[in-house]
Amino acid sequence: FTGNIYGDFRDPTYTLELFERLKGSVQFEMIGAVDAETKSKLDSHNVIYHGSKKLNETKEELKKADVLVNIGNRMLNQVPSKIFEYISYGKPIINVCKSRECPTQPYFSKHLYALNLFEEEALLDEQAEKLGEFIQNNYGSRMNCDEITKLYETCTPQYCAAQMKSIF
């Protein structure tokens, strides 16, 4: 995961619980700013926490990662821009949604190697099992540039520029 964790806007607790259930078989790493309370949660869940890094260093870490993780936020009227960077890597993505109405779902449902999970305590064990299976089955999988461009054509700069040009 890369990004900032702050307040109740983006709370990693559920995600940490999911990965805790995979302890020993998967290592969860985070890059970004967190408050002291979140830092103590990371320590207690055996997360490798890198702190904040420069953009080029973060990109290098994303290149090395086997699977990318998006921790959803509570806002239902915006899509985090980081998901498009994640998608561009073509790697498997785990999307942990705060709500079943999460606006990231339409994007990840197109992705060939993405898993949407939902923050529901009653489903924690079931979703942790899905998470483990997903990682095992998709480890090393990659979408190529042509596949990404085809699936996400309406998100490309060329498409957006063409739309603006047609309006002007």
pLDDT digits (tens, 9 = 90+) for 128-163: 999 999 999 999 999 999 999 999 999 988 899 999
| Percent of the chain predicted with pLDDT > 70 | 99
Range 18-47 burial, b when 16+ CB lie within 10 A, else e:
bbeebeeebebebbbebeeebeebbeebeb
- Of the pLDDT bands very low, low, confident and very high (cuts 50, 70, 90), residue 69 is very high
